[in-house]
Each structure stands twice: as C-alpha cells, then as structure tokens.
Amino acid sequence: MDDTVSNISEAQRQVIPQVEKQGPPTFNGTRLYTGSHRTPAKMEGLTIVGYNYTDTYISDFSVNGAGGGNIEVSSKEHSYGGGTCCAAIPADTPLPLPVRIEWKRDGDVPRCRQTVLLDGPVPADSRYFEVHFYQDGKIKVALSDYPSVPHVLIDRFDATKRKASGNVINDTKFGTCGHDK
C-alpha cells in the first residue's frame, strides 16, 4: 500500500489491504475497471448528462445532491438529456468512489435513491459525469471527455414511455423509494 496518499480517509486506507487480498474488485457481481484509480487531479465541475433506457420518463434526478435535470425515454433518435452543471465529484480522489443518485418519475410517485460506484476508465480530460438508467433497475455512472454514444438503442412510443401500455418500472430492484424531500 502507498502510504504517501494524503487525501483519503482512514476508513479508505484500512480497506485498501483487504481489497488487494481479494483480487480484482467487483460490485454486485460486475468486475470493476482496474486502470487508473483516481479522479483527475485538475478535474473541475463536471457537466451531468443522463441516459434513460427505462420504460418511463424521469422528471428529475441528482448526483450527490447536484441536479441533473429531466430525461426523456431514450430512442434511436434521442439518446440523452441535456447537460446540467455540476457534479459534486472531488478531484484527485481514489476510486472506486460511492455516488448517490436520486430520481423521481413523473406523477404522484415517491423519489428513489441508489448508491453506485464510480470506477474507471478515467479520461485525462474528464468533462462529463454520465448517469445511465437501465431497464432492469441498475444505474451505472462514468466520467467522459464527451457524452458517450448511448449504451442501448431501442424504439419508444413517445418521450414519456417506451410502449403504449405495459411499461415496467424496476426502481426498487436495486434502489429504494420513498425519499421525498
């Protein structure tokens, strides 16, 4: 372990030897990136960009409390929501880093929350913080130098729903709901 790392907490420092013994890191069964394990040292405010591969509209979402705006249901022609400023992700921080994503669907439904891990790859010139909402309820986050090509390209009925009827919402599969402000 490198004891010269000065800006990590004692709890993070104690976890490092355990992680090193366990082999490649995983989260919910997914192997994590094993390249550069720090956010860029000169990283400034990141533009938040959301991708909605779920069946219904997301009226608002946030990253560690910073607003990400709304996201239409993605399609082959419309891939992600517009960017908002700025993700509260600290520069020169060891990865993986837990990130709290909160969101609300349109209508009389509760806010939901899921904590995910920010891992690599880490572009040297990170400018965007991407949040990808998947149909199965998983959320994945990433740093990028430019908004990435959508991970899922599927048709939609309209901007608020994937199908005319029978849309499925899996918000509680990996997250919890009922966190209204």
Domain-located, residue 65 = yes
35-74 burial by CB neighbour count: b if 16+ within 10 A, else e? eebbbbeebeebbbbbbbbbbbbbbbbbbbebebbbbbbb
**Greater model confidence, 43 or 60:** 60
pTM: 0.76
**Residue range of the domain that includes 102:** 35-177
Q: Is the pLDDT of residue 20 over 80?
A: no
Domain-located, residue 141 = yes
Average pLDDT, integer, range 52-78: 88
Domain-located, residue 93 = yes
Domain-located, residue 3 = no
Q: Is the pLDDT of residue 139 over 90?
A: yes
Paired tokens of 118: 């920010």
Domain-located, residue 134 = yes
Task: Output the average pLDDT for the chain.
Answer: 79
- pLDDT number for residue 21: 55
Question: Distance between CA 13 and CA 6 in Å, rounded?
Answer: 10
Average pLDDT, integer, range 166-173: 90
Domain-located, residue 24 = no
- pLDDT number for residue 35: 47
Domain-located, residue 30 = no
Question: Distance between CA 69 and CA 59 in Å, rounded?
Answer: 7
Total domain count, the chain = 1
- pLDDT number for residue 91: 73
Domain-located, residue 99 = yes
32-58 per-position pLDDT tens digit: 444 445 566 556 678 899 999 999 999
Question: Distance between CA 35 and CA 89 in Å, rounded?
Answer: 19
